[in-house]
Amino acid sequence: MALAEHACTRESAVAARIDVSPCNACPVRSMSVCSALEADELKRLADILVSVKVDAGHTLFAEGDGADTLFNVTAGTMKLYKLLPDGRRQITGFLLPGDFLGLSINDTYAYSAESVTPATLCRFPRRRLEGLLEDYPKMQRRLFAMASSELAAAQDQMLLLGRKNAKERIASFLLMLSERARRRGYAENPVHVPMSRSDIADYLGLTTETVSRTFTQLKTSRAISLLEGGKVRLNDMEILQELAEGA
C-alpha cells in the first residue's frame, strides 16, 4: 500500500468559506477505500482528488442537495444529520478521518453534513468515481464493505435510541469514541470529545441538559473524569462497558 503523496488538480474555491488546495494535504493513503488497490488504480484515483478545507460549523451540503460529489474526511470531525420540519434534529453519525460522506445511490443527499471542528476533505466528482468503479471491482467491494459496517453501526444506534436509558447512551457513546480512536491509532483514553453537548444530545436522542447532568453523574460516581480541552478520561472501561450494555 503506497504511502506516497499524489499531486492533484488545483481548483478555485467553490464557496466563500471553502478553501481548496492541492492534494498534498490529502495523501491518498488516508482513504481506507484505497487499501488493496494496485498502483495504476491509485494513480488514476489521485488524478481526480481535490482537497477541501472548511472551518468549524461549515455546512458542506444539505439534505436534498444534488449529490454530485463524494467526500472523504482527511482531518477533523464532521457530523451528518436529518431535520424535521419543526427543527428537531437527529445526528446520524460523526465522521472521523478516513470516513466517507455522500456514498449515496440516489441523486440527492439523504442528510446534511456539517463540520464539527475545522476539517479537511477529499472531493471526488461522483460521475468520475462511477467510471472508476466499473473498471476496478476491488474498489466496489471495499465500498460495499464500508456500507455494510455503517449499516451495522446504524443498527447498534437503533438499539441505543430505542431501548437504552440516558446513562447507558452516554457510556456507549464514550466507548464508541474510544474504540474508534483506538482503531485509528490515536490515544483512546482519555478520549477526545470535540463535539458540543447539543451535538451529543442530538446524536443520542437526549437534551443538552440531560447530557450535561449525566456527565456530572458519571463524574460523581468516578466512572469518568472531565479533563480540559474536551477530553474525557474513562476511569474504568469495564464498569462503563457494563453500563453501556445495560447489564
By the criterion CB under 8 A, which residues form the site for a second copy? 80, 82, 84-86, 88-90, 92, 103-106, 110-111, 133-134, 137, 140-141, 143-145, 147-152, 154-159, 161-164, 202, 204-205, 245-247
Residue/partner pairs of 234-239 with CB below 8 Å, 24 or more apart: 234/174, 234/175, 234/178, 234/189, 234/190, 234/191, 237/175, 237/178, 237/189
Minimum gap (Å) between residue 81 Cβ and a second copy: 9
Minimum gap (Å) between residue 204 Cβ and DNA: 8
Please report where in the chains the cell 444506534 appears, as a residue. Answer: 157
Minimum gap (Å) between residue 160 Cβ and a second copy: 8
Q: Of 8 and 116, which has the nearer Cβ to DNA?
A: 116
Angstrom distances, CA of residue 57 to CA of 17, 18, 39, 53: 10, 12, 36, 12
DSSP 108: B
Strands (E), 96-163: 100-101, 112-115, 119-125
Q: Of 25 and 132, which has the nearer Cβ to a second copy?
A: 132
- The cell for 75 is 482531518
Binding status of residue 210 toward DNA by CB under 7 A: yes
Among DNA, a second copy, none, partner that 179 touches (CB below 5 to 8 angstroms by kind)? none
Rounded CA separation 77/164 (Å): 25
Q: Which of 209, 236, 242, 245 binds DNA (CB under 7 A)?
A: 209
Q: Which of 166, 176, 181, 239 binds DNA (CB under 7 A)?
A: 166
